[in-house]
Structure 1
Amino acid sequence: MKKVVKGLIMVGAAVLLSACGGGSDNTDDSGAKNITFWGSWSGDQVAQLNELIGQYNESQDHYKVTYKVQDNVEEKLLTGMAGGEIPDVILWDRVNTSMYAQKDALLDLDELISQDDIDMSTFYEETVKEMQYEGKQYGIPLLVDNRSLFYNKTLLDEAGVEPPTTWDELIDVAEKTTKWEGNKLVQAGFSMDDVGLFNMWIQQAGGSMLNDDYTETAFNSEQGLEVLNFWDQLMNESKVYQQGFNDGSDAFAAGKVAMMYNGPWALSDYDKVDGLEYGIVPPVTGPNGDKGALTGGFGLVIPKTAKNQDAAWDFIKWWTTNPDVGIEFAKISTWLPANMEAAQDPYFTENDQYKAFVETMEFAKIRPTVPGYSDVESLALIPQLENVMAGKTTPEKALETAQTQGNKILEEGAE
């Protein structure tokens, strides 16, 4: 009987130890605490993340980070808070941050930032703003991107032209690198298949998407109309592109497009294309010399109910505030660091592929972070811009309709 009681006590103790976090679910064999890291990066990107994570795990013996791919990571965070699994740290598009801070799903990092004397001015200002909500910091920027102008060196050399720096030069270079065979376009001077870049174009025209206090749309303006008229000139007068020319493939990689806007994520793929010699320059300036570019990218956040917040913060600090780590991950992933000290390293500034992106970050802007803005673009504006490109409506009517719909979306988001 004593042996049975003793055995039950031992089993009970083991169960209690496991419930208190002392079992194998919480620590590995070396005693390091297991940290769960969520993100939507998949495929080859998983190997990139795991290479970086391995360096962190080897740099200390307190924590062991494990990456787990999660589709719809934002939705799963909310369902997890309602009673499911919660990670310790999340990698996501920075634009998600204010929305989920508003839902009270994220940890306010201000106290940790102050406690560890983290200088947020070492990160690109726009990226810091994108991870704030009501003046509080809910995430740390990790990686940045922007659209810069890719050009095919071979095609421009054959035409005897240099990469453009202005709208007028863009038309000239695009015309000289466009080739038609009868009614068939065989070589496009400039790719115009992404109307979602209207935001950067209107900046170049000297305009903006929203008014100063972000309460109403501002794209139904002289500058907005100037953008659409310029697009019409490229498409229908100069005929440097034709809708559907890419046909689901990458015509730039195939050497059939002379110029296009793209981001640093394309570098690794284009470097693998035999015979493709390309260069990159900052986006062209508008008719009055205005510059315009969009910046997006990823950041790291901690769920408000994460169990291992101190460990998550240690991982985030190591990755984002150490310039050497930022440079190392860029070499692994081809992304540009949000840490400006890292981004100003000669590895980027003296590299023909990266330096244009670094230069563009000096004026690139984030999209407005007010509630409903993403719907203003995706539901109100972009469908109208597509109608214009397809010849189904006029630029004036498209902007007017998008303005009415967009203002309603913003009004509803503010309620």
Structure 2
Amino acid sequence: MTISRRALLAAGAGAALLTACGSDTGRGSGAGPELSQWYHQYGEAGTEQAVERYADAYRKARVAVEWRPGNYDQQTAAALLTDSGPDVFEGSPTLDQIRGGQVVDLSDLLQGVEDDFNPAVLAPKTYGGRIWGVPQVIDTQLLYYRKSLLAAAGVQPPATLDALVDAAGKLTTKKVKGLFLGNDGGAGVLGGTPLYAAGLQLVTADGKVGFDDPAAARALAALHRLYADKSLLLGAPADWSDPSALLQGLTAMQWSGLWALPQVQRELGDDFGVLPFPEDGSGAPSVPVGAYGAVVSARGRHQAAAKDFVRWLWVERTDYQQDFALSYGFHIPARVSLARKAARLRTGAAAEAVRLTTEHGYAQPLLWTPASQTAYQDALSRIIRGGADPESELRTVIRTVSAELDRVRRNP
């Protein structure tokens, strides 16, 4: 699992980067045109061989798979501006790429099955009533907790943000911290999750700032209380995406990804549970989700053939879709029907993760620009670690985000 799957970076690389990275790792045996398909470099063993196998099985075109190491999102953004980029690639098309005509409308591929795709991950790939990417799998983040440690301290799994703060304090001892949100205290990973838990949004459906509300300051102030109370684990050997802090007993609760669940289950057995980020005030539990999708480049020479391939692989071949999600790592299929019937997702913590994702999942909206993200994340860091006033910090962020949304509206 690489960070590139969860964060989009601005394009800044030139053609030299495009030729310096990547390798052709597979070529389909079909007739017809030759298509180039790009994937970022997955960490899960077997994924590369699986996507080569899918390409080899396609008969209407010859599909050459390229495995792209390095800063994949930056490579792809730069490649879309040239004639040497991929025909099909996995990614999350940005607003600029959509409005700049760099990617192809794929709405017709999902006719009759659109409702079967998880709406939380389909929404960020939808703009102007059109679909610009077909979701592949769902990655999500959850709160893991050690049942035995909570029981020993007489603590119930926290259902509210205040309860989380209290629980973290009670679970903190000389040897164990109550909660691990990452070595920066959570500023880098939590993003808008606390805002959604407070009943707010990053951007509203009508394109306005979604957190201009006192509830936002209250939620973020609670994160500083965790830091000030010294309930947070900081300086762990591995960061939040690795469950080792929980497994080694350094913390009683840890925020991490669904991909960590098989390892946690192997090492802890039944001594763990999973929770959403707990609700605050009049809000609701919050579960951040993300998903790369299959996207077609508008600079490709064989757009119709590329669309046909995407339809075949990510709409028609549900067996490959389930295989890709669950055989080489641990993800939720993007199709609701596949998630419901997958054997590995039917019981225990995995089934609970699917339920939480389905009921409480949210994805970063398409209108949330890199400038908005930077302003918010910098403010969140100052609030959590520096004790900066949340109301003052949020006023500054709101001005930045409002200006960004105005800019977006002025440049359709």
Q: With the length of structure 1 as denominator, give the TM-score of the two structures.
A: 0.78
- 1:36 corresponds in structure 2 to 36
- 2:352 corresponds in structure 1 to 356
Q: Which amino acid is the alignment partner of residue 360 of structure 1?
A: L
Partner Cα separation in structure 2 for residue 289 and residue 411 of structure 1: 27
CA contact (8 A) 2:261 2:350 kept: no
Residue deviations 1:162-193, cap 9 Å, x none?
4322334323432332112xxxxx31111232
Unaligned runs of 5+ in 2: 1-26
Instruction: Report the CA distance shift for 1:77/1:396 in structure 2 as closer, same or farther (over 3 A).
Output: closer
What secondary structure does 1:174 align onto?
A: helix
Instruction: Report the CA distance shift for 1:105/1:123 in structure 2 as closer, same or farther (over 3 A).
Output: same
- 1:226 corresponds in structure 2 to 218
Residue deviations 1:226-251, cap 9 Å, x none?
112322333334x4225x34265552
Q: Which amino acid is the alignment partner of residue 362 of structure 2?
A: K
Shift of 1:272: 6.6
CA contact (8 A) 2:194 2:277 kept: no
Instruction: Report the CA distance shift for 1:236/1:355 in structure 2 as closer, same or farther (over 3 A).
Output: same
- 1:51 corresponds in structure 2 to 50
Instruction: Report the CA distance shift for 1:271/1:374 in structure 2 as closer, same or farther (over 3 A).
Output: farther
CA contact (8 A) 2:198 2:215 kept: yes
Q: 1:188 aligns with which of 169, 174, 177?
A: 177
Q: Which amino acid is the alignment partner of residue 395 of structure 1?
A: P
CA contact (8 A) 1:152 1:276 kept: no
Partner Cα separation in structure 2 for residue 86 and residue 261 of structure 1: 36
- 2:168 corresponds in structure 1 to 174
Partner Cα separation in structure 2 for residue 30 and residue 40 of structure 1: 23
Partner Cα separation in structure 2 for residue 57 and residue 274 of structure 1: 39
- Work out whether 1:204 is the aligned partner of 2:201: no
What secondary structure does 1:203 align onto?
A: helix
CA contact (8 A) 1:282 1:356 kept: no
What secondary structure does 1:354 align onto?
A: helix
Q: Which amino acid is the alignment partner of residue 38 of structure 2?
A: W
CA contact (8 A) 1:98 1:130 kept: no
* Equivalent residue runs for 1:259-278 within 5 Å: 259-267=253-261, 270=264, 277-278=271-272
- 2:98 corresponds in structure 1 to 101
Unaligned runs of 5+ in 1: 1-26, 181-185
Partner Cα separation in structure 1 for residue 29 and residue 376 of structure 2: 55
- 1:256 corresponds in structure 2 to 250
Shift of 1:31: 4.9
Q: Which amino acid is the alignment partner of residue 36 of structure 1?
A: S
Instruction: Report the number of matched residues.
Output: 373
What secondary structure does 2:164 align onto?
A: helix
Partner Cα separation in structure 2 for residue 386 and residue 104 of structure 1: 36
- 2:153 corresponds in structure 1 to 159
Instruction: Report the CA distance shift for 1:125/1:42 in structure 2 as closer, same or farther (over 3 A).
Output: closer
Partner Cα separation in structure 1 for residue 165 and residue 81 of structure 2: 54
- Work out whether 1:90 is the aligned partner of 2:89: yes
Residue deviations 1:65-120, cap 9 Å, x none?
3321334445545654555413221011x3x343311121111123444xxx4421
Shift of 1:64: 4.0
Instruction: Report the CA distance shift for 1:301/1:384 in structure 2 as closer, same or farther (over 3 A).
Output: same
Instruction: Report the CA distance shift for 1:105/1:29 in structure 2 as closer, same or farther (over 3 A).
Output: closer
Partner Cα separation in structure 2 for residue 28 and residue 144 of structure 1: 26
Partner Cα separation in structure 1 for residue 218 and residue 406 of structure 2: 27
CA contact (8 A) 2:106 2:132 kept: yes
Partner Cα separation in structure 2 for residue 364 and residue 245 of structure 1: 29
Instruction: Report the CA distance shift for 1:32/1:271 in structure 2 as closer, same or farther (over 3 A).
Output: farther
Partner Cα separation in structure 2 for residue 284 and residue 78 of structure 1: 35
* Equivalent residue runs for 1:300-315 within 5 Å: 300-315=294-309
Partner Cα separation in structure 2 for residue 253 and residue 352 of structure 1: 18
- 2:13 corresponds in structure 1 to none
CA contact (8 A) 2:29 2:61 kept: no
Partner Cα separation in structure 2 for residue 222 and residue 135 of structure 1: 32
Instruction: Report the CA distance shift for 1:354/1:69 in structure 2 as closer, same or farther (over 3 A).
Output: same
Shift of 1:256: 0.6
- 2:206 corresponds in structure 1 to 213
Partner Cα separation in structure 1 for residue 47 and residue 347 of structure 2: 21
Q: With the length of structure 2 as denominator, give the TM-score of the two structures.
A: 0.79
Instruction: Report the CA distance shift for 1:167/1:101 in structure 2 as closer, same or farther (over 3 A).
Output: same
- 2:399 corresponds in structure 1 to 404
Partner Cα separation in structure 2 for residue 315 and residue 247 of structure 1: 43
Partner Cα separation in structure 2 for residue 124 and residue 285 of structure 1: 22
CA contact (8 A) 1:151 1:280 kept: yes
Q: 2:63 aligns with which of 62, 65, 84?
A: 65
Q: Bigger CA drift: 198-207 or 316-325? A: 316-325
CA contact (8 A) 1:326 1:337 kept: yes
The alignment-based identity, stated in percent, is 22
Q: Which amino acid is the alignment partner of residue 404 of structure 2?
A: I
Residue deviations 1:271-329, cap 9 Å, x none?
67688953323332323352322221111011113233344334323332343332222
Q: Bigger CA drift: 319-328 or 297-306? A: 319-328
What secondary structure does 2:245 align onto?
A: coil
Whichever of the two has the greater Rg, that structure is: 1
- 1:24 corresponds in structure 2 to none
- 1:142 corresponds in structure 2 to 136
CA-atom RMSD in angstroms:
3.1
Partner Cα separation in structure 2 for residue 268 and residue 259 of structure 1: 17
